């Protein structure tokens, strides 16, 4: 197993390099860029992040990421060419593409992701500041989904074909069919002062006076703010996990070793949880790390926007809109590295759940 882990760790390097290279090349061919956004802000054509940093352009230095602007872009017409050239030097876009690429790789080897073009903060600091929101959504949504969907799937398998199985399947399918952002809007209308009840807060992770509260009240306030976002994110995930659990249990229940265990007179509960559970839950439990990383980095953008939660999803979205290349490439590097490591954790989890699985022997 150790040799397999070492090989997987070594494979992370070329995989990460390939992902960064492909995305870097794509960005080079994309129209526009941070300087075009900045120039448009200077000329009053756009508002937002680019316009707010117009006066501080000279203090912002690129660390190698970015796209070549081209010579005569629409945003640069009417401005002094020397001023445009100075901006390109400040951002580092006066260098050839291959030099910017290798400079970026050199910085990333030491985890130096540079500073945001438009927020006057380092990429690492931005990620750290946004991480509590995304971890809160990702971790608690994953736990809530597993704690509800797994027991539900087991019960559906045990009572397969009964009215309970039929009506719960109908409820799950309806929940799966409703987009999580639409369900979030419904929750706001019903429970956050939209039209009916005003029971839950509409924005933020904690209240403004959170620091003055006692620890029990801090915990209560924290989950009070998370209640609606978690419910909105989890409702669509129940179906897939519950049905996966049910099908896994049904497959194991019909195998010969279960029939033999029942023939020996073992109690149904012991057969179910002592023999079937480990085999049936292999794929469900081992998929926990990948499910968490998927929710953490890709599943919360619209929920963050709707509930005014400033997390990693919103950070990446705004960086893409504003062509904030240090944030775009820095977060891509961090998220990809975490995802690759968690995929390895998933494989290790397989062996912990079922020691009969030996990836090293399978590779051989």
Residue 163, pLDDT score: 92
C-alpha–C-alpha distance, residues 137 and 149, integer Å: 17
**Residues ≥6 apart with Cβ < 8 Å to 95:** 64, 103
Cβ–Cβ < 8 Å for 278, 350: no
Is residue 92 predicted with pLDDT exceeding 60? yes
Confidence of residue 17 (pLDDT cuts 50, 70, 90): very high
Q: What is the rounded average pLDDT of the residues 15-24?
A: 91
> Which range, 213-227, 298-312, 335-349, has the best average confidence (pLDDT)?
213-227
Q: Can you say whether residue 64 is alpha, beta or left, with left for phi > 0 and alpha for psi between -120 and 50 degrees?
A: left
- Give the pLDDT confidence score for residue 21 in this predicted structure: 92
What is the C-alpha separation between 318 and 301, in angstroms, rounded? 11
Position 78 confidence tier, pLDDT thresholds 50, 70, 90 = low
Element (H, E) at 205: none
Instruction: Provide long-range contacts, Cβ within 8 A and 24+ apart, for 338-342.
Output: 338/293, 338/297, 339/293, 339/297, 340/12, 340/15, 340/16, 341/12, 342/289, 342/290, 342/292, 342/293
* Residue % of the chain over a pLDDT of 70: 81
- Tell the residue number behind the tokens 């390099």, with chain if given: 17
What is 125-363's CATH number?
A: 1.10.3720.10
The neighbour count for residue 15, using CB atoms within 10 Å, is 15
Instruction: Answer whether residue 80 shows pLDDT above 60.
Output: yes
**Residue pLDDT, tens place only, 210-240:** 888 889 899 999 999 999 998 888 887 788 8
Of 4, 70, 83, nearest in space to 32 by CA: 70
Alpha-carbon distance 240 to 176, whole Å? 8
Domain residue ranges of the chain, discontinuous segments joined by +: 33-112, 125-363
Torsion angle, CA of 204/338/30/26, rounded to 10 degrees?
A: -170
The two structure tokens encoding residue 42: 């200077």
What DSSP character marks residue 281? T
Give residue 50's pLDDT band: very low, low, confident or very high (50, 70, 90).
very low
- Give me the pLDDT at residue 203, please: 81
- Please list, in sequence order, all residues whose beta carbon lies within 8 angstroms of the beta carbon of residue 249, skipping any fewer than 6 positions away: 153, 154, 157, 158, 276, 280
User: Please, which residues have CB within 8 angstroms of residue 186's CB and are 6 or more apart in sequence?
Assistant: none
Using only C-alpha atoms, the chain has a radius of gyration, in whole angstroms, of 26
Lowest mean pLDDT among 97-111, 131-145, 153-167, 286-300: 286-300
Average confidence score pLDDT of the chain: 79
């Amino acid at each position: 197993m150790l040799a397999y882990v070492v090989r997987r760790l070594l494979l992370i390097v070329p995989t990460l390099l390939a992902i960064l290279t492909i995305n870097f090349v794509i960005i080079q061919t994309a129209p526009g860029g941070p300087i075009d956004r900045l120039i448009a802000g200077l000329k009053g054509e756009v508002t937002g992040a680019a316009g707010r940093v117009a006066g501080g352009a000279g203090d912002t230095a690129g660390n190698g990421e970015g796209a070549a602007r081209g010579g005569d872009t629409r945003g640069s017409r009417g401005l002094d060419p020397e001023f445009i050239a100075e901006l390109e030097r400040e951002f580092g876009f006066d260098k050839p593409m291959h030099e910017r690429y290798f400079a970026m790789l050199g910085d990333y080897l030491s985890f130096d992701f540079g500073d945001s073009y438009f927020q006057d903060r380092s990429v690492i600091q931005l990620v750290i500041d946004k991480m509590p929101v995304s971890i809160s959504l990702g971790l608690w949504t994953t736990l809530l989904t597993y704690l509800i969907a797994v027991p539900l799937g087991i019960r559906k398998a045990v009572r397969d074909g009964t009215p309970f199985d039929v009506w719960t399947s109908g409820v799950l399918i309806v929940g799966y069919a409703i987009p999580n952002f639409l369900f979030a809007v419904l929750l706001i209308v019903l429970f956050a002062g939209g039209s009916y009840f005003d029971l839950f807060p509409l924005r933020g992770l904690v209240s403004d006076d959170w620091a003055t509260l006692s620890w029990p009240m801090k915990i209560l306030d924290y989950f009070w703010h998370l209640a609606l976002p978690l419910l909105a994110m989890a409702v669509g995930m129940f179906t897939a996990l519950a049905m996966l659990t049910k099908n896994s249990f049904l497959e194991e229940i019909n195998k010969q070793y279960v029939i033999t265990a029942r023939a020996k007179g073992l109690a149904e509960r012991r057969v179910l949880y002592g023999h079937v559970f480990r085999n049936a839950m292999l794929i469900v439990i081992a998929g926990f790390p990948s499910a968490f990383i998927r929710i953490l980095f890709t599943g919360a953008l619209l929920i963050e926007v709707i509930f005014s939660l400033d997390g990693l999803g919103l950070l990446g979205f705004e960086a893409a809109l504003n062509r904030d290349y240090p944030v775009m490439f820095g977060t891509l590097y961090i998220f990809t590295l975490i995802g690759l490591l968690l995929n390895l954790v998933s494989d290790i989890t397989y062996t912990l759940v079922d020691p009969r699985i030996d990836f090293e022997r399978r590779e051989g």
